Chains A and B, each alone.
Chain A
Amino acid sequence: MITLLTEPEKDNLPIKSAELSKIGKKYRVAKAINPVSEDFWALKDISFNIYKGRIFGIIGRNGAGKTTLLNIIAGTLSPTEGDIRLNSRVRGLFNLGVGFQDELTGRENIFLNGAILGAAKKEIESRLNAIIEFSEIVNFIDMPMGSYSQGMRLRLGFSIVTNLDFDVLIIDEILAVGDALFQNKCYEMLVDLKKRSKTLIITSQDLSMIERLCDEALLIDHGRILFQGKPKEAIGKYRALLNTEKFFVGLPPRKPINLIEDTKKWADNTSDWGNKFGTKEASIESVKFINKHGVEANEINTMDSLRVKVSFSVKGEVKNPHFGVAIFRDDGVYCYGPNTGFDNRLISKLKQGKGYFFLDYQSLLLAPGKYRVSIAIWDRDEALAYDHHYGYYKLTITGYDNKQRELLCMPVKTDAGMASKIIRFLTCKRKKIDVGRHLLTNKSGKIYDSAYAKITYARLLDANGNGKNIFMTNERAEFSIGLDRKEPVGKGLYLWLGIYRDDGIYCQGVTTLLNNGEDYSILFPKFLLLPGQYLGSVGIWDSLNENFLLYHHGIYPFKMVSDKQDHGTVYMKHEWKWGTE
């Protein structure tokens, strides 16, 4: 993965400002965290040159080692191994306004801060006016710093460091704060410094700024160089990395005892869809959706089986890959995203050549609508994608007219109370009663009762009939609802149960015709929601007048937990298969 340095042009050989070769930084992990102290390499095998008069950007995720690297270049930390050669006066700036004292005035702080940054008194005196002018706090410069706003401190700090003389300036998380106007001014200042052939080394999470400003960029992750070269390419690789990480944020070692209480991700940013990222050591050649008849199709009936067939080719050899398939609704709602890592299916290596893998779903528990599918082949740590087709494939699920934009179609039984003895098993294929959900907009947490009837209770019961509100994914769950009616049943009245995620996404609605019974039961033999917080709503829908007679909207919270890491909203039973072609 290490890309060779961009060689300087021969006719106009640039001067090196800093040379780093095989830099490594080792820390001993504290014993309090880990009973056995371990070595942790914050940086390893870092070699690169920085040339005079260039702006050099370092990007990477939090904890990738950026700040440690900057500290080593600035000399505040010494490397455990490797050599660093500096050919110039380096001025580090990890926090704007280092050592600012509230008790001292702005002017006094300029002298103090300048001294800390290593300037002689004469130099500070000669630049004093320029510093004050740039910082735009002329009127307050003799006031104690304690009275300054955060923005004023920042302006003064930036003004001091850029107005003093230096050859190399190092700025960590540059311009992370400050208003747009000041940022623009700083940006101009940095460009001006570059023109005066100063060397700048910066880090930022503002990728567009890195792209605009830098001549060269370095991407590091887990203390290693992933890429060095043109900022645009580095940013592309970083985005790929970030996107892979979005799915697998800090995946902890699997501990079977610990229950997982959150899916890591419930929604996705659709603006990145349709992109392909990855290093292409393994690349996805084709993706096919195969319906229950074994025929390729882009439309699948709800609750039918689905096979996702992915063909790929491998250059060289890829060790410990993971396969992943994720389904999103077209608005970014994350439905389900299993991967072989979560499922503990280990693939030791992929050899050069062509291969395929299948993901077989027994039953697609998704409501009709338009969906997007991401396909990915990850490296061992799920840190970097070999190939990731991001929201790339369109899949339509058919079945009924899903006016309500339900997300799920979990099998459910309703039992309309003692009086009727009618037990119905609902599937998503039958015609749905469309409840006017739009009437409940912004009514979450509200109760509206009518003179006609009252909901006496609504609770969740487990398999033993005990009430509780934390369920394991795949456990039996029964909503038990009691009604107290003062008048006989009218026509076209339905009891409605709506299940929402706590971010407001409507998961599934269940309706059952009201009869003379007083106790209603809505039973999910397998409650397949993935970990997270959910809300239940109960109401009576008058289908003739198209109105709610009463509702208790979003006031029955419950929680799902699981012993298994997963992403999305619903667990769908699946199997992986793979082989070579």
Chain B
Amino acid sequence: MEELSIKLNLIRELALKDLKIRYSRPVLGFFWVFLTPILTVAIFYIIFGLVLNVKAAGVPFILYLMSGVFPWVFFQDSVFRSISSLVDNKNLIRDANFPHYLIPVSIVVSNAIIFLPPLLIVVFSSLFVLKGLPVFIILLPVVLIIHFIVTLLLSITFSMLYVKWRDLKYVIEAAFLLLFYLTPVFYSISMIKSSFPGILYKAYIYNPFVGLLILYRIALLKGFLGTIRGYTGFFVIALQLVIFIMLILMITVYVYRKNKGIINDYLAY
């Protein structure tokens, strides 16, 4: 119990440090937490909504975009910043004795904190634009926890592997670029279904990140569940996410157990 409180305290302090350092010096300070996602969405909207005229079935495109971009930014930022976190903080790890995973955890926590304000923007925009929220808003905490756990596990695994294998950062960056296009952040699933043959579409829809984004939208956008029914089943998504989490949990535990004893030797140089 005391162990746990010490770890929680460290996570809190590290996350606080991270936030303070990121937002204490800029003139606009914490305001950037709102500004960055709004700017990102604005750019996406101009390119895809106005120039390329992408449409989403059932909901206004701007809401569709926000409900996809914000979770994606949280996910991508957390993983990217975590990958090199052990190497970046090697003096901390080598000089003080605490479990390595606390460092990526603190980064994911700090990113999760700055993910909350944009999430509130989506919730309120959805409330006003669609004149009400879906019943599934009660699912939002569950979706957030699932997303948080997935991000956490991947961040820990990548950060551990990166210490030994420094190519990983570039590989992951490339993989995320691909994954971004393979996930319906800025386009609707109907576009995929109409242009891809059955087998490829199945492979696409079973991507856990597609499932995750669908869950976000079901929880945030009123009437989205009706639109999505034609593409996939709710329980299929739930099942594929459960399997995916079990899988990466096992990988993370394996990678962590295998490396924690020797990782400091690799951090020395």
Task: Point out residues on A near B: beta carbons under 8 Å.
Answer: 27, 30, 71, 74-78, 90, 92-95, 98-99, 101, 103-104, 108, 111-112, 114-121
Contacts and interface: CB of A to CB of B under 8 A. Distances in A.
Interface in B184-229: none
A450 to B, nearest CB: 62
Contacts of B2: 120
B168 to A, nearest CB: 20
Nearest to B5: A120
B114 interface: no
Contacts of B6: 115, 118-120
B17 A104 contact: yes
A201 B25 CA distance: 40
A126 to B, nearest CB: 14
A30 B269 contact: yes
B262 interface: yes
Contacts of B264: 71, 76-78
Interface of B: 2, 5-6, 9-10, 12-14, 16-17, 20-21, 24-25, 89, 91-98, 261-262, 264-265, 269
Given A92-B97, A119-B6, A121-B9, A78 B262 contact: yes
A93 B95 contact: yes
Contact of A99 (B16, B20, B91): B91
B7 to A, nearest CB: 9
A99 B92 contact: yes
A105 to B, nearest CB: 9
Given A101-B21, A103-B20, A119-B6, 18 more contacts: A76-B93, A76-B264, A77-B264, A92-B95, A92-B96, A95-B95, A98-B95, A103-B24, A108-B20, A112-B13, A115-B6, A115-B10, A115-B12, A115-B13, A118-B97, A118-B98, A119-B9, A121-B9
A286 to B, nearest CB: 50
Given A98-B95, A112-B14, A115-B14, A103 B21 contact: yes
6 contacts: A78-B264, A108-B20, A112-B14, A112-B16, A112-B17, A115-B9
Contacts of A121: 5, 9, 12
B17 A74 contact: no
Contacts of B14: 112, 115
A94 B269 contact: no
Contacts of A94: 94-95
Contacts of B93: 76
B21 A104 contact: yes
B17 A118 contact: no
A466 B78 CA distance: 70
Contacts of B89: 99
A95 B91 contact: yes
A116 B96 contact: yes
A contact patch SS: loop
Given A112-B14, A119-B6, A76 B21 contact: no
Contacts of A71: 94, 264
Contacts of B262: 78
- 4 residue pairs, one from A and one from B, having the closest CB atoms: A115-B13, A115-B10, A78-B261, A94-B95
A99 B10 CA distance: 12
A121 B21 CA distance: 20
A27 B97 CA distance: 21
A218 to B, nearest CB: 21
A158 B239 CA distance: 53
A426 B98 CA distance: 74
A183 B93 CA distance: 27
A118 B24 contact: no
Given A98-B91, A101-B17, A120-B5, A77 B265 contact: yes
B265 A27 contact: yes
A103 B97 CA distance: 24
Contacts of A120: 2, 5-6, 9
Nearest to A101: B17
B24 A98 contact: no
B100 to A, nearest CB: 10
Contacts of B13: 111-112, 114-116
Contacts of A93: 95
A90 to B, nearest CB: 7
Contacts of A77: 264-265
A98 B92 CA distance: 6
A463 B120 CA distance: 89
Nearest to A96: B95
B98 A116 contact: yes
A362 B16 CA distance: 76
Nearest to A93: B95
Nearest to B24: A103
Contacts of B20: 103-104, 108
B97 A76 contact: yes
A120 to B, nearest CB: 5
Contact of B96 (A30, A104, A117): A117
B21 A116 contact: no
Contacts of B96: 76, 92, 98-99, 116-118
Given A103-B24, A104-B20, A120-B5, A74 B97 contact: yes
Contacts of A116: 10, 13, 92, 96, 98
A139 B2 CA distance: 33
A112 B94 CA distance: 16
A567 B9 CA distance: 58
Contacts of B261: 78
Among B89, B92, B97, B98, the one with the most A-chain Cβ atoms within 10 Å of its Cβ is B97
A92 B5 CA distance: 20
A30 B16 CA distance: 38
A114 B98 CA distance: 12
Nearest to A97: B95
Nearest to A119: B6
Contacts of B94: 71, 76, 94
Contacts of A112: 13-14, 16-17
Contacts of B25: 103
A106 to B, nearest CB: 14
A119 B7 CA distance: 9
